[in-house]
Copies of this chain bind each other. A is one copy, B any other.
Amino acid sequence: MNYYKHHVFFCLNQRDDGGPCCCDRGAGELFEYAKSQAKELGLHGKGKSRINRAGCLDRCSEGPVVVVYPEAVWYTYMDKHDIDEIIESHLKNGKVVERLKI
């Protein structure tokens, strides 16, 4: 069995060259929100999900991005509503959120 059922990586890179950047689009705040929500719902930890910080995932122009492994599903998100849907549908019920997939 995998150590984490769903391992979620948020790109939290802060570019300083003026290019598009997940952190300029709310990634930091929404990462913290996702982690706290997953914890509150009892979905966070070994054998369950882990919401993880990551450096640049190198899909800057499509950001903010998050990738869920081992499924290798990539999402973009705009707000807490999108995060809630990823947590509820994907992490809790195993159903990919097609409308946010990239």
Contacts and interface: CB of A to CB of B under 8 A. Distances in A.
Interface string A58-86: 11000000010111101000000000000
Interface residues of A, number: 22
Number of identical protomers: 2
Nearest to A53: B55
Contact of A7 (B4, B46, B53, B67): B67
Given A53-B55, A54-B52, A54-B55, A72 B9 contact: no
Given A52-B54, A54-B53, A74 B7 contact: no
Nearest to A102: B3
A21 to B, nearest CB: 15
Contact of A3 (B7, B50, B59): B59
